[in-house]
Structure 1
Amino acid sequence: MRALVQRVSQASVTVDGAVTGEIGTGLLVLVCAMRDDTEAQSEWLARKAVNLRIFRDEQDRMNRSLLDIGGEALIVSQFTLAAETKGNRPGFSAAAAPDEGRRLYGHFSEQVESRGVSVANGIFGADMKVALVNDGPVTIWLDTDSK
């Protein structure tokens, strides 16, 4: 699985003009299930995201996790993280099939929430408008293939 994790002071996702999820301080996690991914990879990715020490401590150093600060997570499915960009038109054949992607996306969200994080979500497969205030900016790429 792949995730693009952004430290935010606020973020929201809107579908058809209605806000489906919003958070204050925390993480916006754009997540993509890849072909042949498993629940174990989803669990590893969730654990990594919530424990990633990218929030400021008292000395203004990135030394605190989402759990440490009591932050929230906005989790948005984004199959385009699977893009293959050999040519000028990206291909997405490395992404999981839609049904499996939906299942692993849901499992990832459940795993983040089971660790005590308040979770908001986008809608899998929908045309979403994501708004965020990236704090830092801090943006981290996570990939279970590189663990």
Structure 2
Amino acid sequence: MKALLQRVTKAQVDIEGKTVGSIDQGLLILLGITPTDTAADAEKLAARVAGYRIFSDADDKMNLSLSDINGAALIVSQFTLAADTNSGRRPSFSTAAQPAHAEPLYRVFVEHLNYLGISVATGEFGADMQVSLTNDGPVTLLLDTEKN
């Protein structure tokens, strides 16, 4: 499971011209799920995201987490994060989980972040979404459960 974290001052997701999710300060999280990912991976990654120290403290050091700043998370499913890009000039999506496997894990990730006290907004799983953000820093980091 991969989570691309973008530290933002604001972000929103629109579908067919209607805003379905928006946040102010926090993280835009693009979530990619593979066929081997489990609910335990989703919970572990959510806990890591909630406590990951990427927000600046009073000394302008990245020492504060999403939980520390009472920030929000906008979570967007993005199967393209799980693409195989190792060869050719076109990505292969055979390494991305099928929706029947991915959607429940996406929900587990969302629910666990919420359980951890993070205010959560979402896009719509499987929808064609337009995502806009103001990246703060910019700071963009990739967390991957396979690399842990």
Q: Which TM-score band applies after superposition, normalised by the shorter structure? A: over 0.9
Which structure 1 segments of 5+ residues have no match?
none
Verify: 1:68 aligned to 2:75, yes or no: no
Aligned counterparts of 2:82 and 2:56: Cα–Cα separation in 1:
30
Secondary structure of the corresponding residue to residue 36 of structure 2: coil
Aligned counterparts of 1:124 and 1:68: Cα–Cα separation in 2:
28
Verify: 1:32 aligned to 2:10, yes or no: no
**More deviation, 88-97/63-72:** 88-97
Aligned counterparts of 2:38 and 2:83: Cα–Cα separation in 1:
19
Secondary structure of the corresponding residue to residue 127 of structure 1: coil
Structure 2 counterpart of 1:55: 55
Secondary structure of the corresponding residue to residue 54 of structure 1: strand
**More deviation, 91-100/74-83:** 91-100
Structure 2 counterpart of 1:3: 3
Taking the TM superposition and a 5 Å limit, the aligned residue runs for 1:101-140 are 101-140=102-141
AA matched with 1:106: R
| 1:43 Cα deviation from its structure 2 partner | 0.7
Taking the TM superposition and a 5 Å limit, the aligned residue runs for 1:80-99 are 80-85=80-85, 86-99=87-100
Q: Deviations over 1:26-85 (max 9, x none)?
A: 000000111121001001110111111000101011000000000000000000001111
AA matched with 1:130: V
Secondary structure of the corresponding residue to residue 84 of structure 1: coil
Secondary structure of the corresponding residue to residue 8 of structure 1: strand
| 1:128 Cα deviation from its structure 2 partner | 0.2
Which structure 2 segments of 5+ residues have no match?
none
Secondary structure of the corresponding residue to residue 59 of structure 2: coil
Identity, in percent, stands at 53
AA matched with 1:77: S
Secondary structure of the corresponding residue to residue 123 of structure 1: coil
Instruction: State TM-score, norm by structure 1.
Output: 0.98
Secondary structure of the corresponding residue to residue 12 of structure 2: strand
